[in-house]
Structure 1
Amino acid sequence: MTSAARFPVLIDAPQGADAVLEGLDPEQREVATALHGPVCVLAGAGTGKTRAITHRIAYGIRAGVMQPGSVLALTFTNRAAGEMRGRLRQLGAAGVQARTFHSAALRQLQFFWPRAVGGELPRLLERKVQLVAEAAARSRIRLDRSELRDVTGEIEWAKVTQTVPEEYPKAIADSGREAPRDPAETAGIYGAYEQLKRDRGAIDFEDVLLLTVGVLQDRPDIADRVREQYQHFVVDEYQDVSPLQQRLLELWLGGRESVCVVGDASQTIYSFTGATPEHLLDFPARHPDATVVRLVRDYRSTPQVVHLANGLLSQAVGRGAEQRLELVSQRDPGPEPGFVEYPDEPTEAEGVARGIRELLESGVSAGEIAVLYRINAQSEVYEQALADQGVPYQLQGAERFFERAEVREAGVALRGAARAGDNDPLLQETVGLAAQVRAVLGTKGWTTEPPAGSGAVRDRWESLAALVRLAEDFGRARPEAKLGDLVAELDERANAQHAPTIEGVTLASLHAAKGLEWDAVFLVGLSEGMMPITHAKTAEQVEEERRLLYVGVTRARAHLTLSWSLSRTPGGRAGRRPSRFLSGLVPGAGSGPAARGGARSGGNGDRAGGRRRKRGPLRCRVCGRGLTDAGEMKLMRCEGCPSDLDEALYERLRDWRLERARQLGQPAYCVFTDKTLMAIAEAVPEDASQLALIAGVGRRKLDRFGDEVLALCAGEEPVAHERESAGGTAAESGATDTDT
């Protein structure tokens, strides 16, 4: 995305109502002009739904049908709400409230609580996990971290489906869901958790919705005040509403029909949180006079990507499938999607990393590439493979950008410099917004070159570098902007959790990828048992897995690669099958399940699969147990088995790595990762053949660093390759060669 797209130059908003309609396609225009009565917009992926509904609001305001303060636009993430507010400002509709359900409800609850209940609103829990852990302890149940997360999720599901603790076991049985633990135990923890909250005068985010519903139901005078304020409602991502959110919407409406809902049943992927597409699917039946508009012109993806997405949904069954949208790409043709079969997961990760390296060399930026997988536990092997290729990456769903300590500190420094203006000595010698930001952040750890290594120092630098890039984009889009303008922009983004892009390949789960898009997407691990996931038992659960894959496919603008492996570990039994969802979609595989031979396409995948030496299953060198975890495979031992690490050698290897990374101008992990160095320091190889057996030491790194590492293992001083020590670049020294 260009800087101009992120920061449109502010101009006078169009004065006439019809001017707002310019540039809309016929269906988007139909949405924008449907100002009266209930409206249902069925919007496929990439069809410009946000554009359509924001123009509808702006058109309604300019036509005199709506007042800005009377419109409440609802969505599901702070980021989406922030984007909507930004677009509305540019269309001259700055007074419209665009919020999440929770944000809108909390604001009303805070305002009306003294009148409805008296006193101050109870303290809001930012995170409920700690209290759930305490509730479990009171119930004499020990939970590890993953179990604690599961129980917390079950409590959230129960609350948004308006299920009280004593009814939870029956609700689980009626829903057909597979509970992560005994429902009676969970019900006990749930009850203890609710009691703890009451004892401590606290509420959680689900309580915000429940209490708002209670106030509006019990106090008609307050409900009338809210309805007097908000007379027009827009609900984005309507397929994701829970029963509790639907109930709150109905109370806000109070029987009126001035509501516009927007959604796509084919993108319902959050049923585990209580979301259901039934409200969207039943909307025309509940509102027989509703205007229904279908947006099917896809402006995001190429015809090749759209064709695959349509083919994937053509096999769907169930209610949602009856109303599926057949997308029509509006873009020029692009490359065909690739389908690659690998013998095992490490080989798959290596092949994907090489494919990403090729895209980078062809001009695709790292920030426009994503690797998407079904569960977060799959990320490690791809982190390792990208590190081995020297490719920077970021994990989607980590700590929120604006909550990082270094970002908060940078914000304070920028705000202080903006207040001081010309009196700030840092700004007296600098000209231009970006230069001023670089000067201020230079006092907080930012440098023109990144530090070596991949730990906290590097993470801090990446955060500050993201702020520098944001300032550069902001300055190009608004040449007259001052430092105070940037600070205001940062505050707005912090409120919306709209973080700037950190340059690196994105690694994310399919669920976390919803709402995002990239030029190139690698969908990995597409084998039975992972896609659909093993615990998807019912037909409905399997169909949600299909929709999850559909969401992944539609994240890609142009380049799309789908891959799977036949075994988890090198040399393991090739017992896996490609996902049933690929049936009939893989070129040359016929109409049945994707055939192994016909499924292979893309040179890298074939080379990786064909040339790799077949090895037996990896076993712990201490206890002999078969190894499946990527970290354990690298160490060649179980995490719990005794380590014979040569600590002095490990420290020498770390010091050597730091210096080599500095010479090459690369992060330290691009030389060797910590796990690889640890494995070397435990094995202490005596020759190249022994060093080559260590996971993470491929042919390229063996040729490049092998002599130096072996010298260190022998207690000698390493000598770098003459060409590299003489100042050769990373590319000249073979940084793009492939490991095998």
Structure 2
Amino acid sequence: MSSSPEEILAGLDDEQREAASTLSGPLCILAGAGTGKTRAITHRIAYGVQSGVYDPHRLLAVTFTARAAAEMRSRLTSLGAPGVQARTFHAAALRQLQYFWPVAIGGTIPQILDHKVRILAEAAKRLRLSTDRASLRDAASQIEWSKVTNLTPEGYLETPDKPELTDLDHQSFARLYQAYEDLKHDRHLIDFEDVLLLTAGILEDDERVAAQVRQQYRHFVVDEYQDVSPLQQRLLELWLGGREELCVVGDAAQTIYSFTGAKPDYLLNFRARHPQAKVVKLIRDYRSTPEVVSLANVLLGDRTREQARLKNPPVWPEPLELISQREHGPAPELTQHNDDDAEAGWIATRIAELAQEGVPLSEMAVLYRTNGQSQTFEQALSQAGISYQLRGSERFFSRAEVREAMAALRTSSLVDDDESVGEGVRAVLSSHGWSAQAPTTTGAVRERWESLAALVALADQLAAEREGFTLRDFVAELQERSAAQHAPTVEGVTLASLHSAKGLEWDAVFLAGLCEGLMPISFAQDQRAIDEERRLLYVGITRARKYLSLSSAVARHAGGRGKRTPSRFLKPLRRQLGLEEPTRKILASSGRPSPNARKRTAVCATCGEVLTSGAEIKRRRCAECPARYDEALFEALRQWRLEYSKELEVPAFVIFTDATLEAIAELKPTSDDELLGIPGIGERKLEKHGERLKAALAENLS
């Protein structure tokens, strides 16, 4: 679909428009989560193509996942720039390596090794090193880190800042690394990191090849630039050859792959390397509600405030402070549960409630720190009859029903030229297990239907976006997405690790297991590693559009000893949500708790059960027990809070949460002491809002 340059820029905000209309010279776009960075760079490319500044065949856009590259190509096609190359670093390098290998090296290109462990096991055996599969996987990761950091086995030993190994000393690892390289060479094999290394080597050694590549590509765009490794930066500089027609996009606050060699330094120091660079900041968040954005800002801002108190702290760049462009939504929930099963059960219940309210299952996700945590949530969702998809399991386009469907769509004679794409796809897939109504059963039948329903939904979406879209176009799109593993949305709750959730978003996000040892993870020992854990939680929070829940469990198993403590990162979030930490009086000059200060256990005022979540404690009742508050007074207080929040220009929940208003409407306090007895009202809140609250109460109770 061709668009005029003016039409391409229409609909962009001022900062996006500034980025999209800057077509020459170095450009650095600092883009916070949800600020429309992909929109900005795809419109920039399309605007440059339609303006005649860019030749679409001489521009290379690189990103870090095949899914992101496929999404970029899809958007560019919709914007009238279908010829632009959008690839991952590895895909772009491999294409060049395959093309130039016969000329630069000669002979046939080596076969690419899918997995390192088999060759590593043989190398370890030759060296008589005692290793198990886990230690071999660790060694494989260490080799990957070494290569993307441009380290040979000899260079690895000389590097002071190398990661520690669990089962091998550094000398033994260097020997294993060299033996692995020797085996690959003997068997004419290369690994994925070699693709980048060899391409860089050819460009450095052969000026003819370098000139040909630089003639082919005149302009470059790099997405997720905060995740660039030294090897990728080296390759990028070789592509550029000293030119400055480069646009980079990134956010240092979303650097979560340092363990793979990623460094935000290249993004942070871009202006130092390119003094003429223009810097554009995207801070308008179109994804998340003000309540979610506020929590994300507080999490990063808390670390900024810590910087002055730390000794020799690592660099903590000033984060982008996002401004939500959406209407207000519900306050995020922060809960603590007795054990992991209780936490998973509560999350399953909340998911069922949101589904009843109309939130699609595909728009909900449960995110956790390690993959080993998924089993508890799988079991809880299965018991509740809620379908889910485990991100990182069998790939969508590898499923038998999807392969069958694609074959049927290619060869089908059921579709005539007058039929819409959506109707045609439905007609073909109805004989393969798709129906207008979802099956009521769970298991394989439901999973098959969900896969086919995802194809139907994708057909409808693409037909609506692209004028003249045909079944043949749809089949071609599926083939391209299959090659890139760019899967459509499946109807089911997503279960995923925080790392694998990067680049995705949902209406409702449940961040689970937020306790010390998991967030931050136990092996994050120094400040640099802890900072990365904070950024990882930030990425998790900013995946949510509207509903956000943060939870932890005191014990691992039911009846177990509750030794876990909530994550340190939750403290500033708790304050932001008005969930004051319980305080204990300290004896003057002793530093010890007063013996008269009793630690009180919160119990339900109706049934007497112990309360565990912050919302229940504030309400003084279990979630299942009926409300005891004056509903008319509660609604009057909510209206007062709304008007007061507009006056202060802050979100309403920052003043008092609904749970606190319910407690006020139940107890009807009239004095400062009575107000301080209500959970969620501390000295600070009383000082800031107490007089206005008492006036509102007096007006509504008279």
> Which TM-score tier does this pair reach, normalised by the shorter chain?
0.7 to 0.9
SS of corresponding position for 2:501: coil
Match of 1:510 in 2: 498
Q: In structure 1, what is the Cα distance between the partners aligned to 2:621 and 2:551?
A: 13
Amino acid at match of 2:268: L
Cα pair 2:78 2:466 within 8 Å, conserved: no
- Answer yes or no: is 1:278 the counterpart of 2:273: no
How far does residue 69 in structure 1 lie from its aligned partner after superposition?
A: 1.7
Q: In structure 2, what is the Cα distance between the partners aligned to 1:449 and 1:336?
A: 33
- Answer yes or no: is 1:94 the counterpart of 2:82: yes
Match of 1:335 in 2: 330
**Structure 2 counterparts to residues 123-138 of structure 1, below 5 A:** 123-138=111-126
How far does residue 520 in structure 1 lie from its aligned partner after superposition?
A: 0.4
Cα pair 1:232 1:259 within 8 Å, conserved: yes
Tell me whether 118-127 or 183-192 shows the greater mean CA deviation. 183-192
Amino acid at match of 2:360: S
Q: In structure 1, what is the Cα distance between the partners aligned to 2:519 and 2:613?
A: 18
Cα pair 1:600 1:606 within 8 Å, conserved: no
How far does residue 446 in structure 1 lie from its aligned partner after superposition?
A: 5.0
How far does residue 443 in structure 1 lie from its aligned partner after superposition?
A: 5.0
Measured against aligned partners, the alpha-carbon deviations of 1:668-716 in whole angstroms (never above 9, x if no partner) come to xxxxxxxxxxxxxxxxxxxxxxxxxxxxxxxxxxxxxxxxxxxxxxxxx
Match of 1:214 in 2: 201
- Given the superposition, is the C-alpha separation of residues 336 and 320 from structure 1 closer, same or farther in structure 2, using an over 3 Å criterion? farther
Q: In structure 2, what is the Cα distance between the partners aligned to 1:441 and 1:611?
A: 44
Q: In structure 2, what is the Cα distance between the partners aligned to 1:571 and 1:542?
A: 31
- Answer yes or no: is 1:580 the counterpart of 2:568: yes
- Given the superposition, is the C-alpha separation of residues 88 and 610 from structure 1 closer, same or farther in structure 2, using an over 3 Å criterion? closer
- Given the superposition, is the C-alpha separation of residues 134 and 20 from structure 1 closer, same or farther in structure 2, using an over 3 Å criterion? same
Say which of 213, 226, 229 aligns to 1:239: 226
Match of 2:256 in 1: 269
- Given the superposition, is the C-alpha separation of residues 593 and 88 from structure 1 closer, same or farther in structure 2, using an over 3 Å criterion? farther
Q: In structure 2, what is the Cα distance between the partners aligned to 1:430 and 1:26?
A: 42
**Structure 2 counterparts to residues 108-507 of structure 1, below 5 A:** 108-141=96-129, 143-171=131-159, 174-175=160-161, 177-182=163-168, 183-316=170-303, 317=307, 321-417=316-412, 424=413, 433-442=421-430, 444=432, 446=434, 450=439, 452=441, 454=443, 459-474=447-462, 481-507=469-495
- Answer yes or no: is 1:52 the counterpart of 2:17: no
State the aligned residue count: 590
Amino acid at match of 1:361: Q
How far does residue 189 in structure 1 lie from its aligned partner after superposition?
A: 3.0
Tell me whether 156-165 or 88-97 shows the greater mean CA deviation. 88-97
Q: Identity percentage over the alignment?
A: 57
Tell me whether 407-416 or 304-313 shows the greater mean CA deviation. 407-416
- Given the superposition, is the C-alpha separation of residues 608 and 472 from structure 1 closer, same or farther in structure 2, using an over 3 Å criterion? farther
Q: In structure 1, what is the Cα distance between the partners aligned to 2:133 and 2:528?
A: 29
Unaligned runs of 5+ in 1: 1-9, 418-423, 613-740
Measured against aligned partners, the alpha-carbon deviations of 1:79-107 in whole angstroms (never above 9, x if no partner) come to 11111112222222222111111111111
How far does residue 149 in structure 1 lie from its aligned partner after superposition?
A: 2.8
Q: In structure 1, what is the Cα distance between the partners aligned to 2:324 and 2:46?
A: 27
Match of 1:525 in 2: 513
Measured against aligned partners, the alpha-carbon deviations of 1:400-437 in whole angstroms (never above 9, x if no partner) come to 212334322332222122xxxxxx3x558996544543
Q: In structure 2, what is the Cα distance between the partners aligned to 1:90 and 1:59?
A: 13
How far does residue 442 in structure 1 lie from its aligned partner after superposition?
A: 5.0
TM-score (norm 1): 0.75
Amino acid at match of 1:454: G
Say which of 557, 561, 568 aligns to 2:556: 568
Cα pair 1:396 1:507 within 8 Å, conserved: yes
Cα pair 2:78 2:465 within 8 Å, conserved: no
Match of 1:672 in 2: none
Match of 1:540 in 2: 528
Q: In structure 1, what is the Cα distance between the partners aligned to 2:118 and 2:545?
A: 41
**Structure 2 counterparts to residues 564-713 of structure 1, below 5 A:** 564-586=552-574, 587-590=577-580, 600-603=613-616
- Given the superposition, is the C-alpha separation of residues 326 and 144 from structure 1 closer, same or farther in structure 2, using an over 3 Å criterion? same
Amino acid at match of 1:502: V
Amino acid at match of 2:167: R
SS of corresponding position for 1:315: helix
How far does residue 559 in structure 1 lie from its aligned partner after superposition?
A: 0.4
- Given the superposition, is the C-alpha separation of residues 431 and 75 from structure 1 closer, same or farther in structure 2, using an over 3 Å criterion? closer
Cα pair 2:330 2:546 within 8 Å, conserved: yes
SS of corresponding position for 1:507: strand
How far does residue 159 in structure 1 lie from its aligned partner after superposition?
A: 1.1
Say which of 67, 72, 76 aligns to 1:84: 72
SS of corresponding position for 2:500: coil
- Given the superposition, is the C-alpha separation of residues 611 and 152 from structure 1 closer, same or farther in structure 2, using an over 3 Å criterion? farther
| RMSD (Å), alpha carbons | 2.9
Amino acid at match of 2:325: Q
- Given the superposition, is the C-alpha separation of residues 167 and 608 from structure 1 closer, same or farther in structure 2, using an over 3 Å criterion? farther
How far does residue 453 in structure 1 lie from its aligned partner after superposition?
A: 5.4
Measured against aligned partners, the alpha-carbon deviations of 1:341-377 in whole angstroms (never above 9, x if no partner) come to 1111111111111111111111100000000000000
- Given the superposition, is the C-alpha separation of residues 521 and 285 from structure 1 closer, same or farther in structure 2, using an over 3 Å criterion? same
Q: In structure 1, what is the Cα distance between the partners aligned to 2:471 and 2:354?
A: 36
SS of corresponding position for 2:486: coil
- Answer yes or no: is 1:14 the counterpart of 2:3: yes
SS of corresponding position for 2:548: strand
Cα pair 2:156 2:162 within 8 Å, conserved: no
Amino acid at match of 2:396: F
TM-score (norm 2): 0.79
Cα pair 1:451 1:461 within 8 Å, conserved: no
Cα pair 1:371 1:506 within 8 Å, conserved: yes
How far does residue 588 in structure 1 lie from its aligned partner after superposition?
A: 4.0
Q: In structure 2, what is the Cα distance between the partners aligned to 1:91 and 1:285?
A: 34
Q: In structure 1, what is the Cα distance between the partners aligned to 2:386 and 2:223?
A: 36
Cα pair 1:160 1:244 within 8 Å, conserved: yes
- Given the superposition, is the C-alpha separation of residues 360 and 274 from structure 1 closer, same or farther in structure 2, using an over 3 Å criterion? same
Cα pair 2:438 2:449 within 8 Å, conserved: no
How far does residue 477 in structure 1 lie from its aligned partner after superposition?
A: 5.5
- Given the superposition, is the C-alpha separation of residues 599 and 143 from structure 1 closer, same or farther in structure 2, using an over 3 Å criterion? same
- Given the superposition, is the C-alpha separation of residues 45 and 593 from structure 1 closer, same or farther in structure 2, using an over 3 Å criterion? farther
Amino acid at match of 2:533: E
- Given the superposition, is the C-alpha separation of residues 610 and 97 from structure 1 closer, same or farther in structure 2, using an over 3 Å criterion? closer
SS of corresponding position for 2:490: coil
Amino acid at match of 2:15: E
Q: In structure 1, what is the Cα distance between the partners aligned to 2:557 and 2:623?
A: 16
Amino acid at match of 1:192: A
- Given the superposition, is the C-alpha separation of residues 593 and 520 from structure 1 closer, same or farther in structure 2, using an over 3 Å criterion? farther
Unaligned runs of 5+ in 2: 308-312, 585-598, 603-610, 626-702
Cα pair 1:347 1:608 within 8 Å, conserved: no
Cα pair 1:346 1:570 within 8 Å, conserved: yes
- Given the superposition, is the C-alpha separation of residues 431 and 226 from structure 1 closer, same or farther in structure 2, using an over 3 Å criterion? closer
Q: In structure 2, what is the Cα distance between the partners aligned to 1:479 and 1:21?
A: 20
